[in-house]
Amino acid sequence: MIDRRYFIIGGMATAMGSAAFGAPPAGGFASRRIGVVVRGAGPDVILVHGLDSSRAVWNGTVAAISGYRWHLVQIGGFGGMAAGANASGPIVAPIAAEIARYAQWAGLDRPAVIGHSMGGTIALTQAIDQPQSLGRLMVVDMLPAPAALLGLDSATGGLFASLAMSLGGGDAGMIRSLTRTLGGGEDSDDRVTANALRELAGLDLGPRLPRIATPLTVVYAEPP
């Protein structure tokens, strides 16, 4: 039986193989949506976490794979970071655009981008809308239409999410309990969780996938 952790690590190494690198500028990246911590040295790889999570989810990956310069994105409203501009309105496209802006600011030459779950949705959106900002792409455990996880399409998924928010008293409600059960949700802003969930539930990137020209690796799990 293949150890899935090492399969993912091996796939990451393959996906990142051609990433280029150079020296980022001095000073911090100013953003009201994301923060970025840089670790290691080598070809550049941007890591994007999922819903109600934090960049700490990548600590094991960073520790296991040397020889790369990791850019760990923290999305505002999660992981103890202030919500900033993420407190209201869309999340996915603005974060994708901000990551592309970070790559340009840091002088990254078409870096590899890896996104988990919601981070995968953000990474796909970046590849569709800002293809010049990344050279390779990996998505882990995500669907182009997240509502399919509940057996719904994007139209009914959006309605379901809105209903769940209402029943939860206007905050993340039921989803907050679920994410905390799964090991996430701590130090997250309920407004950002609710907005992101509602947006993801009504999103379907399927029709836009043919626009992706970036080399793409998809990692997913199947029941035994």
pLDDT at 170: 47
pLDDT band at 74 (very low <50, low <70, confident <90, very high): very high
In this predicted model, what pLDDT tens digit does every residue of 122-150 receive, in sequence order?
999 999 999 999 999 999 998 888 877 66
pLDDT at 177: 55
In this predicted model, what pLDDT tens digit does every residue of 173-208 receive, in sequence order?
555 555 554 445 558 898 888 888 888 888 899 999
pLDDT band at 99 (very low <50, low <70, confident <90, very high): very high
101: enclosing H helix or E strand: helix 92-105
Average pLDDT rounded to a whole number, residues 13-26: 53
pLDDT of 26 > 50? The answer is: yes
Collapsed DSSP state (helix, strand, coil) of residue 147: helix
Rg (CA), the chain: 17
pLDDT at 19: 45
pLDDT of 98 > 60? The answer is: yes
- How far is the C-alpha of 20 from the C-alpha of 67, rounded, in Å? 12
3-21 in b/e form (b: 16+ CB < 10 A) is eeeeebeebbeebbeebeb
CB of 116 closer than 8 Å to CB of 24: no
Shortest CA distance to 204 belongs to which of 145, 155, 149, 146?
145
What is this structure's pTM? 0.82
pLDDT at 95: 98
Cα of 167 vs its chain's centroid, Å:
27
